[in-house]
Structure 1
């Protein structure tokens, strides 16, 4: 059994807020095994590396002998977490939430130990609350305190509407902590206010207030905005090995060390060494990034698939080759404008997105870049179209 003092040292690594370190130490000494909570709303079907930062910390808690309670917000998901948002988020339907929940457990268990994880749905208790119950709970927190939250304060000052349901969200999340008698709640830095509400409500209900632990939010592949499916800059747990490796290689060099610290088990001494090597020019950032991509891809897909992904990446980008296999797209016409052809390849993108890809030089046909959206393309069996850095398709004529 790891000593309480050693546990705290391990757990506080890479945290932003820990309220408080002394409380965490005392709680471990008193209880031995802690109940550690993470609340997630099933707003999207795919988990991405942004949530992996928090799940990795929870796994560390488990490895140290503690129990994780994963709260799936089947009820609060219909409200939508307003954290960091400049406007009210559309509510999800019950059907949308149920569909997303199906994949959550399987994805979360790629990191968490299922034996040491308790899955709960907050609809278990929130759906049972009467209006009288809701009045009692909400009376324990003031509007003034609610407006201390940064995003609410900005919206209020700018005259942007805030719905009452959004005020209810942090109350509901805090009430979750009361219902499971939580010892520690973990989340990203954007969740700090909600976690503090939970701490306050537990005190109001006569419980020991939960310890709060927040972790950094990682930027997505664009290097600017936080990783999110909404910003199309995410790397999903369910991405294939080649796609995952390729996306990791596309992140800006400035994120390499942050990703290493938050998403891998690479020792800190080695991370520091990589940082010094890149700074002095002794190490090529591309090579360090390949180590990062290999480590993360190996975790999700195994060494064999990671090795194949790396080999293909080298072939495409270092040796200017093409993938050994690629999807086929069948077309009827003998000749067609480039935009029409790309529409058949990228059906999930809008016309404006496709036009931007073409004019920015992201499209090549048989190795030749084409930037005219109306350029006539003569269709030939086996011709290869490249879209962006990583997508290759082979064109075939329908017979």
Structure 2
């Protein structure tokens, strides 16, 4: 460890402090010894490390699972390092084939720009804008001519590409793999060449793509390739599957305060420490204290969840909203009473027939269900009430009037306004 030997005792302590924070929650760091050297060199010279995260703007609604890498980036920022945030406006036109059994539909330029703008609005809820450098990879990828592309593709073999599990499965099962899909990891790797990144973050499902950046940096003459810092995938509210909007097991950072609080309270007990570690800014000392309290029984899991729920709402909505969301939860769930404040929602008279409306149509009109089939499932599950009376038949038509209290599930309430 040559870089370490040249440091003063105070600088060595700073290196150890940074490494403890950087390693927190990480599944794997490749190669681990190079991280020590890079941090030591940064401390010795005062030059910040360049830490990269690439975002494919195909699904811009960020949920808590996405924030795992964002919180790690914020830790790097707080340590004085530089974040390189790459919006893959060029790679996004292909779409990351990771985990896909078929070719991804290509996004239009308009799709990519719209999604990228949405990303930027949400990311600053976690990252420090002053320490974040945004890049759109079209600024260098679009300039490559065909000779450049040939040189890039010549640096990696087809055999290496087929090491990817998803490509290998599609190849052995005779599923088509289009040539342009091979270019996704090449282009993502070239981003690291263009920005001379020191470290790249990603989930464990991005291991191949991130290591490609290290490979290409070496192929283009870099003496020290980037380090791959791999973070775990966060399980969703079901406690089993990776958090995903399509699976419905997610907490969105744009969820309303009450919805965010209520969802958090349904997290399985065994995942509490993991959520605190990966998706909040609590210190290592606070984390150890929480873990010890839960293991020894001094801290009740319910109290830990309330703390986590307030933490989430505070982070994304503010202190006042966090206090109100807690009171709402206590009122509705613990006291089994209606909340004091219920939002008014309107239903047009044209949807009614002699003052009645189909239950499914009512729920869709109020925004409580995305479709009639979803509305019917809510009724069958016993999750729908009008004026605290549970509905059981999804085929029912119900008589409604202004002032009726409609409830769907445990978190959605509306005071009906008819005809406005």
* Shorter-normalised TM range: over 0.9
Residues 348, 174 of structure 1: alpha-carbon distance in 2 compared, 3 angstrom cutoff: farther
Q: 1:12 aligns with which of 11, 20, 23?
A: 23
Deviation at 1:7, TM superposition (A): 1.5
**2:342 corresponds to which residue?**
325
Deviation at 1:312, TM superposition (A): 0.6
CA distance in 2 between partners of 1:195 and 1:303 (Å): 37
Deviation digits for residues 102-138 of structure 1 (CA, Å, limit 9, x no counterpart): 2322321222222222111100011111222112101
Deviation at 1:354, TM superposition (A): 2.0
Q: 1:100 aligns with which of 108, 111, 115?
A: 115
Tell me, which stretches of 5 or more residues in structure 2 are unaligned? 1-10
CA distance in 2 between partners of 1:300 and 1:344 (Å): 28
1:231 alignment partner, SS class: coil
CA contact (8 A) 1:338 1:376 kept: yes
Does 1:272 pair with 2:291?
yes
Does 1:114 pair with 2:164?
no
Q: 2:379 aligns with which of 342, 347, 358?
A: 358
CA distance in 2 between partners of 1:199 and 1:128 (Å): 22
CA distance in 2 between partners of 1:274 and 1:161 (Å): 52
Residues 296, 319 of structure 1: alpha-carbon distance in 2 compared, 3 angstrom cutoff: same
**1:185 corresponds to which residue?**
200
Provide the TM-score with structure 2 as the length reference: 0.89
**1:262 corresponds to which residue?**
278
Tell me, which stretches of 5 or more residues in structure 1 are unaligned? none
Residues 348, 91 of structure 1: alpha-carbon distance in 2 compared, 3 angstrom cutoff: farther
Q: 2:209 aligns with which of 180, 194, 202?
A: 194
CA distance in 1 between partners of 2:307 and 2:334 (Å): 15
Deviation at 1:283, TM superposition (A): 4.8
**1:160 corresponds to which residue?**
175
CA distance in 1 between partners of 2:288 and 2:122 (Å): 30
Deviation at 1:286, TM superposition (A): 2.4
CA contact (8 A) 1:329 1:393 kept: no
**1:144 corresponds to which residue?**
159
Deviation at 1:348, TM superposition (A): 6.0
Moved more, 213-222 or 238-247: 238-247
Residues 327, 273 of structure 1: alpha-carbon distance in 2 compared, 3 angstrom cutoff: farther
CA distance in 2 between partners of 1:114 and 1:69 (Å): 11
**2:101 corresponds to which residue?**
86
**1:368 corresponds to which residue?**
389
Residues 94, 8 of structure 1: alpha-carbon distance in 2 compared, 3 angstrom cutoff: same
1:50 alignment partner, SS class: coil
CA distance in 2 between partners of 1:335 and 1:10 (Å): 60
CA distance in 2 between partners of 1:329 and 1:253 (Å): 38
Provide the TM-score with structure 1 as the length reference: 0.93
Q: 2:239 aligns with which of 219, 223, 233?
A: 223
CA contact (8 A) 1:261 1:271 kept: no
CA distance in 2 between partners of 1:102 and 1:248 (Å): 27
Deviation at 1:46, TM superposition (A): 2.2
**1:250 corresponds to which residue?**
266
Deviation digits for residues 223-270 of structure 1 (CA, Å, limit 9, x no counterpart): 332223333333222223222212212323332221111112342222
Q: 2:323 aligns with which of 307, 330, 341?
A: 307
CA distance in 2 between partners of 1:364 and 1:289 (Å): 27
1:239 alignment partner, SS class: coil
The 4+ residue runs of structure 1 with deviation greater than 3 A are: none
Deviation at 1:329, TM superposition (A): 2.5
**2:35 corresponds to which residue?**
24
CA-atom RMSD in angstroms: 1.9
**1:66 corresponds to which residue?**
81
1:214 alignment partner, SS class: strand
CA contact (8 A) 1:384 1:392 kept: yes
CA contact (8 A) 1:385 1:394 kept: yes
CA contact (8 A) 1:274 1:288 kept: no
Deviation at 1:274, TM superposition (A): 4.0
Residues 202, 86 of structure 1: alpha-carbon distance in 2 compared, 3 angstrom cutoff: same
